[in-house]
Amino acid sequence: MADWKHWHIERNDNGVATVWVDVQNQSQNTFSAAVLAELSEVLDDLEQANTDQVILFRSRKENSFFAGADVKEFTGIETAKQAAEVSARGQQIFARVEALAPITVAIIRGACMGGGLEFALACNYRLAINASATRIGLPETQLGILPAWGGTQRLPQIVGLLQAIGMILQAQKLNADKAARIGLVDRVLEDGELEVGIGKAVGELLATGSLKKPPKKRTWAKWFVDRTAMGRSLAISATEKKIAPQLGHYPALGKALQAIRLSFVDPKKGYEFEREALGELILSPTCRNLVGLFLNKERARNPQTWEVPESVREKKIETIAVLGGGTMGAGIAQLAAKRGLKVILKEINDDCLNAARSRIQKSMDKLLARKRMSEADVRQQMDAIEFTTEWAPVSRAEVVVEAVPETMELKKTVFRELSKQCAPETVLASNTSALSVSEIADVVENPQRMAGLHFFNPVHSMDLIEVVQAKQSSSETMGKLVTLSRQLGKTPIVVKDSPGFVVNRVLMPYLDEAVLVAVELTARGQDLSQIDRELKKFGMPMGPLELYDQIGIDVAAHVAGSMSVVFGEDSVTSKILQRMTEQGQLGRKSESGFYRYEKSRRAGLADLKPFLADIELDLPQAPPTPLDEMMTPIQQRLILAMINEAGRCLDESVVPQAWMVDLAMVLGTGFAPFLGGPLSYAKQFSRDDLLQTLEQLAAVYGKRYQPAEALKSL
């Protein structure tokens, strides 16, 4: 038997061959060219053997069946022909898997994504382990491409047209139970009885030649869509209308839908279309930017990027304490419990503690109702959280995360007490979005153990954590917080302690400019919603005024008041936000902000005129600029304000490299991912056009547009 690096075959006397995969020097199994080449040799062996009746494909990695193709290799593809050849190679190999004479079974535990699922789809059966790490999907459209190893052709035939459209176009990731309900996997195995479950399935296959599958729910609507040309045509036409506004930014959605359609019409043409479409898409700016973000996300999750000491890198955090059980504190505690940490949640009194417990329980109950958690998961995670009003339990934690209300004096009071209660080596972190961590650290004994952890709301779904390095923070402290961030499943970006860190620092000029434009439009009697329409057309997930209403006018007013570095000491925006706050016009939560709301639905624009009293209005005309053909005047003012501030972050070494700003802004604010981030987008312009535009804007709107030095060397 061949001595392969990544693959191994075990055979028993009953006609069962187990093909194990364990891609070396990788935490996840991925299909690189080398791994595919070895799989081809493995298939040579399987095709020539005459004793195998059942072939099991399994992974030796605990949390990874196959995470998909090796995305790093995408960057080496320079022509459409090369991309089409990569597609053809994968299609050919998986066709050989599909053609194997023995019964083939994929045993899925952990990530089964992209090319990994396309591999599993080529098997006769799929068994999935009911574990939190098991996630199954085809997320290629998130990279600006489509599944091109047969996924668009095989998946619709297994799960039906509508399910396939949802999985591929929305890049859905399913757990084992959901995958079973739609017929994607044939049996769900319990983690604790894995070998028994596999043994039963194999015995059934050897005895009968097939595996009894759970009955599928059949409906006339599903039959109409999957079995009739008219039904498919109506479903595809409806999807085309739905995705039409996105195609300019995400062309892969249209290509994927066309490939799915061909799976019912002419699969041979469907496979050919996959190859051609991959060649076209992989060279597009959208794909290049999305792949760049993916690789930079992996880079940010690598401890070596942040120079984490090896001694810290190898040691996991086991127990954390969270001070404060409000929205953020409860979210942090719940996430930590979910990720397997022991949590001590401290509140100031029993009423606050009971409210925190109720907040977490309600959140888990919602997940339980949506079948995102089991009752056993709820019990286990609630048991992992110790609720207390005492200081003594907090002293057992290796890391303490403070999540009390955002006022400097309160935070200083908390940290004075913390430094007395905890051992000198306990790491202390403040969850703050705008306050100076260095100033807080001044009241801490052994301040080198103090730093910041800026979580984003909602904690469970926002991927980013800004790990804030105070002037006093030691490398060991920063290393422990990077380690904790990764344990929590987040992407850390290490930032210098400065107003707003990176995300709020870069976002706030954009939001500031939105208010200034809103004031000008109000004074001219024009429609404010134009601002949101133009920024959504640019590619932002929501407009800036909608964003204000979403995060809360009061929250934005507080941040604006603490960021004079952006807004200036006499800020019109700060005045407007403060006046709106004083009048209770707080956004969605008060049913009135920049917009009015009725039963959580938008019901028209609110009136800004009452807030403009005694504000000196300047109504300048937008100057013509070299970028007029690429952006509207409103887009220029808002987006270039963000780009310029991103440049200033580099000037001031808030982070050392441009990719860190881009990744933080995409993960933290939803900045149009297909553009790669504000600084990646800036690189699309000629330097002279960008600088000249900024200077022309500065001449009309003020020094805030004076070009940052970093932009001159992008």
Q: Report CA-CA distances (Å) from 157 to 128, 182, 226.
A: 19, 12, 9
Q: Which of 87, 454, 485, 546 is catalytic?
A: 454
276 is catalytic: no
3-state secondary structure of 282: coil
Pair of tokens at residue 400 = 């303490």
Q: Which of 433, 562, 592, 644 is catalytic?
A: 433
| Among 167, 106, 107, CA closest to 131 | 107
436 is catalytic: no
Q: Which of 474, 485, 504, 562 is catalytic?
A: 504
433 is catalytic: yes
Pair of tokens at residue 531 = 């601002």
Q: Report CA-CA distances (Å) from 217 to 127, 222, 456.
A: 19, 9, 39
302 is catalytic: no
3-state secondary structure of 629: coil
Q: Report CA-CA distances (Å) from 16 to 48, 52, 54, 198.
A: 15, 6, 5, 12
What's the order of all strands across the beta sheet hosting 135-137? 64-66, 111-113, 135-137, 173-174
Is the sign of the CA dihedral 443, 444, 448, 452 positive or negative? negative
| Among 623, 621, 617, 619, CA closest to 695 | 623
Residue 491 pairs with which residues in a beta bridge?
A: 464
3-state secondary structure of 278: helix
84, 112 Cβ separation under 8 angstroms: no
Q: Report CA-CA distances (Å) from 429 to 387, 395, 487.
A: 19, 14, 16
Pair of tokens at residue 42 = 């493995």
Q: Which of 38, 140, 406, 466 is catalytic?
A: 466
Q: How far apart are CA 681 and CA 697, in angstroms?
A: 18
- Identity of residue 597: Y
Residues serving a catalytic function are 433, 454, 466, 504
